[in-house]
Amino acid sequence: GAGVSQTPSNKVTEKGKYVELRCDPISGHTALYWYRQSLGQGPEFLIYFQGTGAADDSGLPNDRFFAVRPEGSVSTLKIQRTERGDSAVYLCASSLTKGTPSGNTIYFGEGSWLTVV
């Protein structure tokens, strides 16, 4: 596609429910990132995929959070037993190749705003 696409754009869910957020990266981009951003804060790194594998999942806050990218394209961020503190904008980004010392630009989607009530 022309840009990174994220669905849903907004999601309201009840505490304790399961949520899936989808990211469709730019076609041909092998690197995919998930970030979480709370109001007034910068994006917080969650997980990075290179192809199908999670190359760095050090930012996932706990085992309620999980992400997959089974075919190396679309990715799904899964949150189990949601808590009110999970409310945030979840941003997905992709880039053509993994970061190198010369640098690659990462392109962000518009985000999925999750509200847990």
Partner 1 sequence: SQQGEEDPQALSIQEGENATMNCSYKTSINNLQWYRQNSGRGLVHLILIRSNEREKHSGRLRVTLDTSKKSSSLLITASRAADTASYFCATVPSGTYKYIFGTGTRLKVLA
Binding site for partner 1 (CB under 8 A): 4, 31, 33, 35, 37, 39, 41-45, 48, 50, 55-56, 58-59, 89, 91, 93, 98-103, 105-111
Amino acid at 42: G
The CB-of-16 to partner 1 minimum distance in angstroms stands at: 26
The CB-of-31 to partner 1 minimum distance in angstroms stands at: 7
Query: Could you give phi then psi for residue 86, rounded to 5 degrees?
Result: -80, -10
Pick 19 or 36: Cβ nearer partner 1: 36
Q: In what order do the strands lie in the sheet with 19-24?
A: 5-7, 19-24, 75-79, 65-68
Pick 13 or 37: Cβ nearer partner 1: 37
DSSP state of 84: G
What is the Cβ-side half-sphere exposure of residue 54, based on CA atoms within 13 angstroms?
15
The CB-of-54 to partner 1 minimum distance in angstroms stands at: 12
